[in-house]
């Protein structure tokens, strides 16, 4: 299993590779991802980095949660504004 999460990729790409992350991301505040239409539209345009900014979630908190759930995280140092 590839357990690397790249925060610079669109959320929809991340969820295609790791569908098990959907519930965790929604719990962290990415509420629109609970709607399949939003996942397919906004999810194609927004990365986890940008999503954190949009929902005012610290990237450190997201990284911590992902790491606690067994994932390695890359792309956190990149600001993809």
pLDDT tens column, 37-55: 999 999 999 999 999 999 9
**Structure-token pair, residue 72:** 């390695």
| Distance (Å, whole) CA 3 – CA 53 | 23
Instruction: Compute the distance between CA of residue 61 and CA of residue 68 in angstroms, rounded to an integer.
Output: 10
- Average pLDDT of the segment spanning 7-18: 96
pTM: 0.87
Residue 35 three-state SS: coil
| Dihedral class, residue 65 (left if φ above 0, else alpha if ψ from -120 to 50, else beta) | alpha
């Amino acid at each position: 299993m590839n357990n690397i999460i790249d925060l610079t990729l669109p959320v929809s790409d991340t969820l295609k590779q790791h569908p098990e992350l959907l519930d965790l991301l929604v719990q962290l505040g990415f509420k629109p991802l609970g709607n399949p239409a939003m996942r397919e539209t906004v999810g194609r345009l927004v990365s986890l980095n940008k999503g954190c900014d949009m929902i005012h979630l610290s990237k450190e908190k997201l990284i911590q949660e992902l790491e606690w759930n067994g994932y390695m995280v890359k792309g956190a140092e990149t600001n993809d504004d």
